[in-house]
Amino acid sequence: MASQEMRLERDSMGELEVPANAYYGANSRRAELNFPISKLRFGRSFVKAIAQIKQSAAVVNLELGALDEEIASAIIVSAQRVIDGEFDEEFIVDIFQTGSGTSTNMNANEVISNVAIEALGGELGSRTPVHPNDHVNKGQSSNDVIPTSIHLAAAGAIQDNLLPALKELEDSLRAKSEEFWGVVKTGRTHLQDATPIRLGQEFLGYTGQLELAGARARTALAELSVLALGGTAVGTGIGMHPEFSSRVIVRLRELTGLDLSETTNHFQAQSTLDAVVAASGQLKSIAVGLLKIANDLRWLGSGPRAGIGEITLPEVQPGSSIMPGKVNPVIAESVAMVSAQVIGNDTTIAIAGQSGNFELNVMMPVAAHNLLESIDLLSTSAVNFAHQCVNGLEATGKGPEMVMQGLAIGTVLAPIIGYDAAAGIAHEASVSGENIREVALRMTDLTEEQLDEILEPLSMTEPKA
C-alpha cells in the first residue's frame, strides 16, 4: 500500500507532517496523535455552532476595523461552508482531549483558515494570507469559545429538535387520553388493585408528564442561552475589542433565532459548567418521565393472555428467534434504554461540572458530547415513541371486564357502612372468591338496586361535589 502523501507544517512547537490534502493543520494533527482514545468526535450541531461563532467574529472584526476586507470576507465564506457541513470529516479531534477543548477550537480555526487560503489561491498549511490564530480566532480564546459553542449547539438542538419532539409525543398521548376516556378499568397502587380509573385518565397523567417535560426543556434552553463569549482567557476579556462580544452575540441571535445574551459574570461562565449541569438535570428528569411511561405501557400490554393485557401495542417486528408468533414491546424498550443512557450522561456531566479548577473548567468536551447526545437521543426517541407505539395503541376489553372483580371498589361502601365493615367485606370476598357486590348483598342490608348504584364503576372515577 502506498504511503499517504504528506506536507510539512510549522507551528509554535516546530515542524510536523500533515496529510497533504487535509484542511486541518499541525495543531489538529498533534491532537489527533496525542488522543487516540475513542471513535467519538464532535457532531454536526457542535461543528455548526463553532463555525457560526467564527463567522460572526469575522463579520464583527471587519466592522471594527480589526480585519481587512479580503481576509474577513474569505473567513465568512469559508465558515459558511463549514456551517453547511462540507468539512465535517476534517474535525478529527477526539472527545477525550484537552479539557478546555483548545484542540477543537484550533481544529475549527485551521479548517476555516485553510479553506479561505485555498479560495484566495494560497497553499494549504501555509497559514497565509489567513492565519488560524491571528485572523480566524481574533478576539477569542478557546476558553470562551468552547463554552459558548456548547451553549449555542445545545440551545439550538433543544429549540429545533427536542421541544417539537416532546410536543408531538404530548399530542399523541392526549389523543389517546380522549380516545380511551370511556374505558373504565381497575386502578393500581403498590402494584395492587385500587379503585377504578378511566384508561383515559391514566393517559391524561402521561400527557401531564410531557407538558412538564416541555417546561423543563424550556428552562434548560433559557440557561443555555446565556453565553460566555467575551471573557477570552480567564474572564477578563484580555486581547478583545470592548464591543466585540456584544456585537458577535447580536449577530448570533439574528443567525439562530435564539434569545441569546452575554453573561453578566464572565468569571463564572468560564470557570463553571453550572448551566450545562442544570440543563442536563432537566434532561434527566425528562428521561425519567419517559421511562415511567414506557414501562407502564409495557406492563399494560403484557401478556397478551398471561399478563395484564389492558392495551395492545403495535406489532412492529417478530419478538423471538425461537417462539413463533411472539411480539415484544420493542419501541417502549428502546425508550427505556435511551432513558438509561441520558441518566448516565447526566452523571458524567455532574462529574465534569465539578472540575472547574480556578478560572477554567477542564472537562468541557466530554460534558458537551454527553449533553448533545442526551438532547439528540430524547428528541429522536420521543418522536419514534409517538409514531411507532403510542399512535397505534388500542384498548382491550380486559380492563373493563376485571373492574367488578376488584376488591378496592369496596372503598365506596366505607362512607355508608363504615371502614371496618367495608374492610370485612373485602376480606371475605378475597377468601371466598366472590366479588364485592355479592358479599355486600349477603352481609349488609343494602338492596341490589342500591348496590348497583353505589358500585357503578364510572361514578367512582369522578370527584363528588
Known catalytic residues are: 190, 320
Angle, vertex CA 245, rays to CA 244 and CA 251, nearest 5: 95
- 323 burial (CB, 10 Å; 0-12 / 13-18 / 19+) is exposed
Tell me the C-alpha distance between 455 and 196, whole Å: 10
163's grid cell:
421541544
- 311 burial (CB, 10 Å; 0-12 / 13-18 / 19+) is buried
Q: Are strands 261-262 and 226-227 parallel, antiparallel or unpaired?
A: parallel
Whether 31 contacts 100, CB under 8 Å: no
Q: Are strands 261-262 and 6-11 parallel, antiparallel or unpaired?
A: unpaired
Q: Which residues make Cβ contacts (< 8 Å) with residue 89, sequence separation at least 6?
A: none
Tell me the C-alpha distance between 297 and 173, whole Å: 12
Q: Which residues make Cβ contacts (< 8 Å) with residue 62, sequence separation at least 6?
A: 69, 72, 73, 76
Tell me the C-alpha distance between 253 and 75, whole Å: 20
Angle, vertex CA 208, rays to CA 178 and CA 286, nearest 5: 130
Tell me the C-alpha distance between 146 and 87, whole Å: 19
First to last CA, the chain: 85
CA distances from 271 to 143, 155, 245, 358, 449 (A): 9, 20, 18, 6, 73
